[in-house]
Chains A and B, each alone.
Chain A
Amino acid sequence: MAMTLLNAPAAGRDLVFDDEFLRKLEQLELLARKIFRGLLRGDHTTSRRGRGLEFSDFRHYRPGDDFRHIDWNIYSRLDQLFLKLHASEDDVTLHLILDTSASMRFGDPSKFDHARRLAAALAYIALHNLDRVGVSAFSEGLGAALPPIKTRHHMARLLTFLGELPCAGVTRFDSALGAFAMRTRNPGLVILISDLLGAGEIQHGIDALCYGGHDVVVIQLLAESEIDPALDGALRMVDAETGDEVDATVDEELRSLYQRSLQRHLQEMESFCRRRSVEYLRASTAIAFEDVLLKYLRQGVHLR
């Protein structure tokens, strides 16, 4: 292990990442290595044409093109000038976007803690893959951001950043994600970790990321109390983000209607992501984050 996570700065470690987590992360490194063996070259071919070694295509020579890329063998055979194109070999920037709105406080463990641990793990794997990793937080708007880091030496900094993130405010997906898309110059892989509960058009926010040229992955975290609420009787429900109050007498019928409403919401999100070619993953806080991660790593297409 190039870095001892247990030696990470106290702030992040104490607040969020306890020793057990850090140990799990170190084990995850080994696990990740096993899964991505042979792929960890530190480079990713992209769809952009560039100066990489891997052949991509031919095209006719146009005045001004670099003579060095002319394929002279073809010229000798066909007496025509063709340029030999190669795929660009850029390192990928992983943008982790964390929902830090008040609704993320719910769950046991909380969705927020779960999201931070998931982010830390993904960042660790990405850094191990020689990719850049940046972290941004959002709620009502775009919040604190950690500029992309390249090496695993900066992992402790990332953990500290995650550990110090607040969890409050109202979620505004459209404005927050739109601001992120506007601010980020280098498109990359965006992993949005959120409960996708809140005001504002979620679809608009994800669209903004797609239009910004990012490959987007959405991980929706839900608390078990949201998936199967154990509520009953006459209640005054208060929205943690907006403070809105709703009086309801919860019975079996209403719980059933809630489940139906939740399923409808989840299906809408899933089908939307599918239409946008956005990878969508749903997880509960009741499932250990490493299990989520492994499932993601096995099924996912973005980290090969």
Chain B
Amino acid sequence: MIEFAYPLALLSLLAVPILIALHLLRPRRRRIVLSTTTLWQAALKEREPKLGLRSMLRNLSLLLLLASAAALGVALAGPHWLTRTSEDADTVLVLDVSASMKTRSGIGKTRFDLALAEAFDIVDGLPREGRMLVMTSGRKAVLRTGFEADRDALRRALRELRTGDEAGRPREALALALSLLRGRNQGRIYFVTDGAFDRDVDPGSPQVAFRVVGEPARNVAITRFDFRQELASEERYQVLMTVRNYTDAPLVVPASVSLDDRVLFRRPLTLAAHAEQTVVLPFTGRARGQAIARIDVDDDLAADNQAYAAVYTDDTLRVLLLTRGNFYLESVLEALPNLVLVKRDGSPAEDIARLALDYDVVVLDGIEAPRLPAGNFLLVNTVAPGLPFSDSGRLVRPGPLVRGQSALMRDADLTAVRVDQARRIVIDKPAAGLQRLFWSRESDLALALLDADVKLVYLGFDLARSNFPLQAAFPLFFSRSLEWLRPRGDGFVSTHVEAGSTQTIVLPAGETRVTLRMPSGKSESLESEGGSALFDATADAGIYQYTVGEITRYFAVSLTDARESDVNNRWAPGEPRKEAQPAGKGVQALVPLWPPLLLLALLLLALEWCVWTGSRNRA
């Protein structure tokens, strides 16, 4: 099967009918009437076997021109022959693009440069019909090509690769590579890396061949950097910075922290060999802006010599409502000030952990709740597993409601509240952080829980089957619950994320587009999906700026990974493994056809010239 890279180029084949039309413009046949044509037909029939060859020879020049034009036209269309090749001979090339690959190795080169050269050698050494898939191993494993037989395509893909400031996760990349070759016993995986990872990364498969590049290197790195507000005072802050010396010699490293243009801290840190030092620096004043920590050291990896944090005030409470539809709940949440509400349908089981991180509060209304990760939750008419209380059935028209002494229920009048049906709650184990908010004779109807990871408020009945939404206590209950779930204080936020991770940007109601400006100066626009936009092009460390409507916010991306900054090879290959040989059944692969077609067109043109010259000489 033939495919074309540039099908529009086939339009050049229109030259063929033009050539034929020109050929047809030759003088027409003379018409003559004869007594009979029977004898002529018999003569022609007798000459017929010779006629094809004779006619072809007479029109040889035209035929060669046509064939040449057709070959050239098809070549321009970039045809590929879909052929069958050995599936078992497939190769996966995994290239390490983690931050450690930026380490200097030789003069003017990095480990990544060496790795690319090694990768090109592997491509050049592929079997004739072998196919290769290129993937990168950073914080995520990314497929850069499919299984490709076109060497040029593979080289192009390699040339487009670059390394970022991400901490590598080679174990995941190798697991993915092995899954791609599942069932292909002779398939091979080349992992081109600097070996700056732990020994347990090696899956021990005979299919995996490690190609280690780079030399031992010296490195000193900032491995932690953060801002936090002191609990006692809203005007007092702390800067946390950890610097680690990975060299064999003690060092004195000048370190500094600045907030916008203001230097908060500058002093030398004395580091023993293979030791780290953490400094906590208190300061008073307004903590707003872009914070950068630096160490002034000439080591082999510069990427971890600075770290970033975006510090700002944000009063907005980001609430995710997971519901099948609840008019009262949506109305009361939308009515609360400084609250960005994002509503979604369906079960959150798969990504509840990420959602709990992305949103200040996650509200689950009447849907099956999964086991809750760390975060702030408001459960309405649903009980999650793993909590100190559990659901033990239905309760019809529970008796008069009794309000507890919790601050959440202060001034809330529940005397007129009537509930048609509620969940019967059983407290399985007493917990210190469990507060009873209100209850009936039969069961608790509202609880608050504060433990090490989870902070939640539970309301045990369907709002639509009670008159609670019609009572003054209703907005009061939810306002206080949300306030309790995430005390806002003055809204101080210090954001920094790991390079290569996905950042969720929550958009206010009515906004659907967010514009991002990256440290390199490039801009990118994202469309929101369900009230939030996911941004994962965070390979480079630095301050990222995003604008939603008229609001501009920042988030910082840093390496700050102690394991990634340990750039020396911590891995040594085990016993030499026998390399697999390609063999076995075939699969489809693309082979470019334009070079032989171009050559054919040129040959035909040369032949036509010879024929034309010969006929002219004869004439």
Residues of A that sit less than 8 Å from B by CB: 102-106, 195, 197-198, 223, 226, 231, 233-242, 244-248, 253-254, 257-258, 260-262, 265
Are B32 and A235 neighbours in the complex by a CB distance under 8 Å? yes
Contacts of B35 in A (CB 8 A): 102-106, 195, 197, 223, 226, 240-241
Contacts of B29 in A (CB 8 A): 234-236, 247
Which B residues, 34 to 56, have Cβ-Cβ distances below 8 Å to chain A? 34-44, 46-47
Contacts of A253 in B (CB 8 A): 47
Are A198 and B36 neighbours in the complex by a CB distance under 8 Å? yes
In the complex, whether B17 has a CB less than 8 A from a CB of chain A is no
Contacts of A106 in B (CB 8 A): 34-35
A261 touches which of B28, B32, B34, B43 (Cβ 8 Å): B43
Shortest B62–chain A CB gap in Å is 16
Contacts of B30 in A (CB 8 A): 233-236
Query: Mind listing 26 A-B residue pairs with CB under 8 Å?
Result: A102-B35, A103-B35, A106-B34, A197-B35, A223-B35, A226-B35, A233-B30, A234-B29, A235-B32, A236-B31, A237-B37, A238-B32, A238-B33, A238-B37, A239-B34, A240-B33, A240-B34, A248-B40, A254-B47, A257-B44, A260-B46, A261-B39, A261-B42, A261-B43, A261-B46, A265-B39
In the complex, whether B27 has a CB less than 8 A from a CB of chain A is yes
With A244-B37, A262-B39 already in contact, 11 other A-B pairs whose C-beta atoms are closer than 8 Å: A223-B35, A234-B28, A234-B29, A235-B29, A238-B31, A239-B33, A241-B35, A242-B37, A248-B44, A257-B43, A260-B46
Contacts of A257 in B (CB 8 A): 43-44, 46-47
Are A197 and B40 neighbours in the complex by a CB distance under 8 Å? no
Contacts of B32 in A (CB 8 A): 231, 235-238
Are B37 and A239 neighbours in the complex by a CB distance under 8 Å? yes
Shortest A282–chain B CB gap in Å is 15
* Bound complex: CA A104 to CA B35 (Å): 7
Contacts of B41 in A (CB 8 A): 246
Contacts of A198 in B (CB 8 A): 36
Are B36 and A241 neighbours in the complex by a CB distance under 8 Å? yes
* Bound complex: CA A40 to CA B161 (Å): 120
* Bound complex: CA A233 to CA B36 (Å): 18
Nearest first, the 6 A-B pairs at minimum CB distance are A257-B43, A103-B35, A106-B35, A239-B37, A261-B42, A236-B29
Contacts of A240 in B (CB 8 A): 33-36
Shortest B111–chain A CB gap in Å is 75
Secondary structure class of chain B's binding surface, majority of residues: mixed
Which B residues, 10 to 40, have Cβ-Cβ distances below 8 Å to chain A? 27-40
Shortest B23–chain A CB gap in Å is 14
Shortest B583–chain A CB gap in Å is 59
Contacts of B46 in A (CB 8 A): 257, 260-261
Residues of B that sit less than 8 Å from A by CB: 27-44, 46-47
Secondary structure class of chain A's binding surface, majority of residues: mixed
Contacts of A104 in B (CB 8 A): 35
Shortest B39–chain A CB gap in Å is 5
Shortest A180–chain B CB gap in Å is 22
* Bound complex: CA A260 to CA B32 (Å): 21
* Bound complex: CA A261 to CA B33 (Å): 19
Are A246 and B44 neighbours in the complex by a CB distance under 8 Å? yes
* Bound complex: CA A257 to CA B33 (Å): 19
Contacts of A239 in B (CB 8 A): 33-34, 36-38
Are B44 and A254 neighbours in the complex by a CB distance under 8 Å? yes
* Bound complex: CA A151 to CA B28 (Å): 58
Shortest B50–chain A CB gap in Å is 9
* Bound complex: CA A265 to CA B38 (Å): 10
- Which of B30, B36, B44 has the most chain A CB atoms inside 10 A of its CB? B36
Contacts of A262 in B (CB 8 A): 39
Are B38 and A258 neighbours in the complex by a CB distance under 8 Å? no
Are A260 and B43 neighbours in the complex by a CB distance under 8 Å? yes
Shortest B55–chain A CB gap in Å is 9
Shortest A104–chain B CB gap in Å is 8
Shortest B168–chain A CB gap in Å is 77
* Bound complex: CA A262 to CA B41 (Å): 11
Look across to chain B and name the residue whose beta carbon is closest to the beta carbon of A102: B35
* Bound complex: CA A248 to CA B35 (Å): 16
- Which of A226, A231, A235, A261 has the most chain B CB atoms inside 10 A of its CB? A261
Shortest B54–chain A CB gap in Å is 9
* Bound complex: CA A39 to CA B405 (Å): 163
* Bound complex: CA A246 to CA B42 (Å): 11
Look across to chain A and name the residue whose beta carbon is closest to the beta carbon of B41: A246
Contacts of A254 in B (CB 8 A): 40, 43-44, 47
Shortest A26–chain B CB gap in Å is 32
Contacts of B27 in A (CB 8 A): 234
Look across to chain B and name the residue whose beta carbon is closest to the beta carbon of A171: B36
* Bound complex: CA A260 to CA B38 (Å): 13
